Structure 1
Amino acid sequence: MRSGQQAALGKDLLDFMDALAIETAILVGYDWGGRACCIVAALWPERVDRLVSIGGYNIQNIPASRQPEPADIERRYWYQWYFNTERGRQGLAQNRREICRMLWEMWSPNWRFDDATFDRTAAAFDNPDFVDIVIHSYRHRFKAAPGNPKLEAIEDQLAQQPKIGVPSVILHGACDGVDVAAGSEQAYRHFTGPYSRRVVPVAGHFLPREAAKDVVEAVVGAIA
């Protein structure tokens, strides 16, 4: 099964660490990658030295996913509703680069990337699994598609919104066009260990590209 559900992302990261014989690591990620990092930190904390999660507590609250958000948040998630339709699946298949570039521009309004920068990443959108996994992710999170039965035990744990006890730094771009910075203000409730949150001025969604220095400082700096 080509699964985009959050349990698959977390298990993939854990399996990757196992394959490389990495016992413990500093995990750094944003968006889907941040979700994978948060899942490993929550469920397998013995494998994590430190967590740098861009965007906050990225584990989805799927049991509550059908509850409406404020209008501005719903507007920012238009593409997620689009991908929950058959038209959206076909649109992503036919216009994958156009859709993704538009999302980059919306999510990071102050980042002036060039064609070469986009094209280096866009090659991944041609992967034959790309559409299936993206569509499954955005449907599963709203209970509109079944998950992989092999991952249900992990999904059951994630449905409880497990807390993260490893030392953690939250970063958030002040101008993030999809996940507004205010959305991580209450993230501390999900953390029980040493914790710090920093909002990066001007930057949007792609902090590793837009504010690499801030990400590096979060990895090597003190938490407090």
Structure 2
Amino acid sequence: MSDQINLRRRRLLGTTVAGLSLMELGLSGLANAQSNSTKAGSSVASFDNLKQINAGTLSIGYAEAGPQNGPVVILLHGWPYDIHAFAEVTPLLAAAGYRVIVPYLRGYGTTRFLSADTPRNGQQAVVAVDIIALMDALKIDKAIFGGFDWGARTVNIIAALWPERCKAMVSVSGYLIGSQEANRTPLPPKAELAWWYQFYFATERGAAGYDANRHEFNKLIWHTASPKWKFDDATFERSAQSFSNPDHVAVVIHNYRWRLGLVKGEPQYDDLEKRLAAAPTIAVPTITMEGDANGAPHPDPAAYAKKFTGKYAHRNIDGGVGHNLPQEAPKAFADAVIDVARF
């Protein structure tokens, strides 16, 4: 990690985390601070007492920790992961005084559509609209956001389109806002190969295959996206439960087909997508992060640095850290959230 960590704050966090009760954290176990290296051992917390709230077209399941009057941090996972990507980040932030909200995205865990008639849409804009609806339902005016994969794209979109709702942002792999038009441009063969699952999902065979084999499929993605992360079966199984959501396959397939322009989104989001297609800059304070062993397709930090026009910093995280950076290097991610809040 390139930035110096404040040792006094580290000691304070460690002491506070050890002293907080399970009730205060809203967790069934405490997560010990982990070093930035994936090789360092630590206990992993399980979220307990999940909450549920109607927001927009969804009933959203979410974990919450920390003081109710603390500054709000919203943490967003990606595919094929779930809220447990932040199981060790959450107690660190709660101990630092933040109110932490970790929702299941549409198609994951306990999040459900309120109506059988709502399209199981996975286009980029709608996931951001879901989170704005969640903030409205929880009466949260403004939050610090952190995310990776789908979650990073979503926090990018919120920061770009609703900057008044975003105090600051931590984004793994930087700027991920895209468009169907931009995705029509072919990539070099090696780059296309890295997106093999996107082309698989474009077929009916792929949709059926993912439905039948989502457990094995997603475990393969975990291995290829984080080739140096030595996660155990229990760690994967805890997250794999979220893939049993009845809408999971439909949302995932629509997401990747929409990216290639093979399916349409919902008309009410056309204006948002038009604005996103222009690749808007982001002015809110931002820290972007990248692991040194990310096996998933990701842009070079130099390619997106100029998209962030406010106070900005990038951090490369060493130690064999892959795509799921918050779970592989939780202390580095939590430090980034705390630091960006002070920008």
Would you say the 8 A contact 1:13–1:37 is kept in 2?
A: no
Question: Are the aligned partners of 2:292 and 2:321 in contact in 1 as well (CA < 8 Å)?
Answer: yes
- Residue 241 of structure 2: aligned partner: 123
Cα-to-partner distance string for 1:50-109 (whole Å, 9 max, x where unaligned): 110011101113211011223222111100110011110010010001100000000001
Equivalent residue number for residue 18 of structure 1: 136
Cα distance in 1 between the residues matched to 2:173 and 2:133: 24
Of the three residues 182, 185, 193, the one matched with 2:302 is 185
Is the CA contact 2:195–2:297 (under 8 Å) kept in the aligned structure 1? no
2-side partners of 1:26 and 1:221: how far apart? 11
User: Corresponding residue for 2:259?
Assistant: 141
Q: Structure 2 CA distance, aligned partners of 1:148 and 1:90?
A: 23
| Distance in 2, Cα, partners of 1:162 & 1:48 | 15
> Which whole-Å CA distance do the structure 2 matches of 1:124 and 1:221 have between them?
31
**1:221 aligned counterpart, secondary structure:** helix
Q: Does the alignment pair 1:156 with 2:277?
A: no
Worse-matched range after superposition: 213-222 or 99-108: 213-222
How far apart are the structure 2 equivalents of 1:60 and 1:119? 31
Q: Which of 186, 196, 204 is the aligned partner of 1:86? A: 204
Matches of 1:120 and 1:148 in 2, distance apart?
33
Taking the aligned partners of 1:89 and 1:183, their CA distance within structure 2 comes to 30
1:42 aligns with 2:123: no
Q: Do residues 51 (structure 1) and 165 (structure 2) align?
A: no
The aligned counterpart of 1:4 is 122
Are positions 1:107 and 2:225 aligned together?
A: yes
Question: How much has 1:196 moved relative to structure 2?
Answer: 0.7
Question: What fraction of aligned residue pairs are identical, expressed as a percent?
Answer: 43
Q: How many Å separate the matches in 2 of 1:194 and 1:108? A: 29
Matched residues in 2 for 1:185 and 1:119: separation? 36
Which residue does the alignment assign to 2:26? Answer: none
How many equivalent pairs are there?
Answer: 223
Q: How much has 1:148 moved relative to structure 2?
A: 0.9
How big is the shift at 1:138?
A: 0.2
1:112 Cα deviation from its structure 2 partner? 0.8
In the alignment, does 2:313 pair up with 1:196? yes
AA paired with 2:191? I
Moved more, 32-41 or 68-77: 68-77
How far the C-alpha of 1:179 sits from its partner, in A, is 2.5
The letter for the 2-side match of 1:18 is: D
Of 198, 201, 220, the match for 2:338: 220
CA contact (8 A) 1:10 1:39 kept: yes
| 2:180 aligned with 1:62 | yes
Task: Please tell me whether the aligned partners of residues 9 and 35 of structure 1 are also in contact (alpha carbons under 8 angstroms).
Answer: no
Aligned mates of 2:281, 2:314 — CA distance in 1: 16
